[in-house]
Amino acid sequence: MSHERLWTPTQVCEYLGVPIDTLYRWRYIGTGPKAARIGKHLRYDPADVYAWVEEQKATAA
């Protein structure tokens, strides 16, 4: 885990440029970036989001 502040779903959507419904659908079907429940809140480690993006780029090539 990086020492960068964890991202909210809204921040992940802003970074990825996708609607919140898309992010939640990806989570539901298990294809999106890793997330963690912190109490009742869903949070994303930016390092996991960056890694997921790199994975997507590698599989798209």
pLDDT at 4: 82
pLDDT at 3: 76
Around Cβ 46, how many Cβ atoms within 10 Å?
17
pLDDT grade, residue 2 (50/70/90)? low
pTM: 0.89
Q: DSSP for the chain?
A: --SSPPBPHHHHHHHHT--HHHHHHHHHHT-S---EEETTEEEB-HHHHHHHHHHHHHHH-
Per-residue pLDDT tens over the stretch 5-54: 999 999 999 999 999 999 999 999 999 999 999 999 999 999 999 999 99
pLDDT grade, residue 60 (50/70/90)? confident
